[in-house]
Structure 1
Amino acid sequence: MFPPKSVRESAAHILLVDDDDNLRLIVSDRLANAGYRIAEASSLREALDQLDRESHQLVLLDIYLPDQTGTEGLRAIRARHPSLPVIIMTAHGTIDMAVEAMKEGAYEFVTKPLDFKRLGMLVERAIESKQLQTEIDYLRRATDEPFTEIIGVDTGLKHAMALVDRVAGSDTTVLLRGETGTGKEVIARAIHRLSPRRTKPFVVANCAAIPRELMESEMFGHVRGAFTGAIADHAGFFETAGNGTLLLDEIGDLNMDLQAKILRVLEDGSYRKVGSSTNLRNRARVIASTHQPLEKLMEEGRFREDLFYRLNVMPIHLPPLRERREDIREFAKYFLRTCACGNNSREMILTEGAIAALEEHPWRGNLRELRNCMERLALTATARTIDAADVRLLLHHRPEEEQYLATLRLQDLERQAILAALERLDGNRTKTAEALGIGRRTLQNKLKQYGISAGMPWDKSESAS
């Protein structure tokens, strides 16, 4: 049995290379039952072909194959895919061979008959290491000179990533600022993973999502009997984070009372559970994020100035995607590649026309919207090459209409929305009302108001619904 681990939820892709059909059957069955996706090969040539066709997160390689012996196969795989972890398997294990394989870059070395418990742990560790290294490498590219052409020299992301590298090794409080979808939580996780606390918990407290009456209990925990329904002690976010990192996401949404208690934690490191008189020590590093203009909130008396200055020790601003359109190309390729791999799809290609269409889009949802767009394209595209028509169809984006729409009155836009919905739904008024989020009677009034009635090519009678 392989031990359960959340990493399998991502359905990592493993290539199993062995000329023993029975062994491949047993190992692939074990791995598949553990939640991994398995590809098989019985020779080095077949393995290299599969690696060139599809993305994998790990290779399990028999050291003796019909077309290779020793570490030849390992060297061949490492030459083409240097970051891909390879676990060597053999029934002819010797210390010398193990040393040679490790020198050639093998992740680990196991002997047959296989110890499946040990193999399971090694597979887990290798895939986790690969995933983490991929994320860190991608984030580090923003600060590496050879990659300035990818990130864009005139964007704020390069500066932001330089600050991430600078603050990761310290316990300095960081305030991440930027619009929704700019990647604030991703940056917070990067700071954690690049820090000495990387093996400790990373906890996210979503200040905007927790009801006000539960916020103090969720943040600091409570003791049994603290209030009606508190039937047991409860650990809050600070306690759960332990010696790790706590992200106070959307801290601008905190009420003033809780802001004062957060300030106390930042000032003297102590807090109390609800219903307790015992002071507890905070051990977690605190990172805060917000999309709100905190300076304006301070002027309006909705955010404490002293808390702002405590949080704003190291501010990092993440620019919106519209201010770094030159980055859209590489982000789009990265998200498309990631989504295609995650969905077990073949590698897809964006044409220059598709990239131009992506660069024309306003991306009000920033990187989150772009990532979702790439995921939908990976799932819905019928060909390996994605062109401008595919992108515009997905985004419902017609460049020639933009200036025209900007000149319309609200009533004109509403009339067009109703007409478009009626046409799309073949004049079915009940379905049209549902699609527009209004009642049928309201739709009838709108049709009368805008003179939309009989004579339309798709018009149906009142009973036609």
Structure 2
Amino acid sequence: MPSQAISLLASEKTGKDWMDSVLPKLWEGLCTELGFSAGVVVLKVEKEDSFYESASFGYGEDGFYYSFLNRGSLHWEELMHSQEPVFFSGSEFELFGKKTNAMAIRIRSKQTEIGFLLTEMDESLPFPAGIFLTFFAEKIGNEWGKTQKDMVSIEKPTSDNSHTLYRSEIPNLDLATSEFTKQKILTILGPSGSGKKTLAKWIHQTQLPGAPILVVESLPDHFGKLEKALALWGEESRFGSLVLVGVQALNLGQQQILSDWWFKSGYSGSLFLLGPEEMGQELLPEFERFLRKNSLVLPSLRFLPKAKLQTLVQAIFEELCDSQNRSGLQLGAKSLQELISRSYSENFTDLRNAILTGILTCRTNQVEPADLEPGKFKMDLEIPDAEDLDLRRGTEALERQKILLAMRIFSGNQIRMAKALGISRGSLQYKMKQLGLM
């Protein structure tokens, strides 16, 4: 057994302390004394469904990513189900060294696959070294398992669904919902990002479960095209709901066409009209009556009581953690106060973006104020709902999420990020600049 490894293996540290301070040095020492040209230890993030490099040797500052071991790939599955080391020939697989071969050993903890270690060598691996690495993989698995016991579980405050919490602050919601069942129309007004679409979809699902819903973000300027579009949308959302966003942008001609279509077309579905509280443009008298027939005004976040806002922030944080497979993540007290004290011009859009940014960039078990990076990300990070037709925004949001996740996993190393994302480094830099990530 290598001499340096003996002293490190004899360390009194254990669990998370061993994983953080001993493993990286021990791995480097082992690779050096066993004559490996490069090697990496990849482990599952505690209480998450993602993996990270816990220790590496020989790759230099730019690092390296083994694309053939992408999670879920054929070779990944082979490795995760193999009780023996798995070998990869340099003539068949893309390795870091030009003339090397590689050996990988899965790492398990309590009958669960939590990662692997991989080494590259210029010549065939000596038999004793392979046995030693197998035992070393078991050592890593045992210490990783101890981190689950060592973690102090912080009890999260019991909170309701964030949408339910906010709906309780909307004046006259029950009355408007009751009228909607009779009149099949509802105008939802409110500041930008206040959840108008979300509320419309909730009312639709509550009152018309299983019925189709179509969300339209913009209307054609040409009157003839608008008439045809309304007829087509009405047919697609028949017996369901049509949601028209941005009614404040309608000119007088469009207002007339829309109101005529509603009263004369025989449309059998329901209609939601979404816009700001102050329209800011001239309205036809009949169109204004049409808008006010059954309407709601949503409050801005700045008008919510501080205690209510704090509960709302915590609820949104927990929901986003679950959606990102980071259920063990905590929101630090200072971060909570930072989020509560901010002004959100886009209301829920800005708030959720700030929280999601913290979740995706945080590399510890607690989101700190530095992770929130105020003002850096201006684009909506969430993936739009299936009913939304804005393909460009959906594509950009998905790209942004994937790039931010790669940034967290690979600590911003663009070469590793690019290989994991399946694009060139130049393309990655272009997309990062385009999305405001650099």
Normalising by the residue count of structure 2, what TM-score does the alignment of the two structures yield? Answer: 0.46
Higher relative contact order (CA 8 A, sep 6+): 2
Normalising by the residue count of structure 1, what TM-score does the alignment of the two structures yield? Answer: 0.43
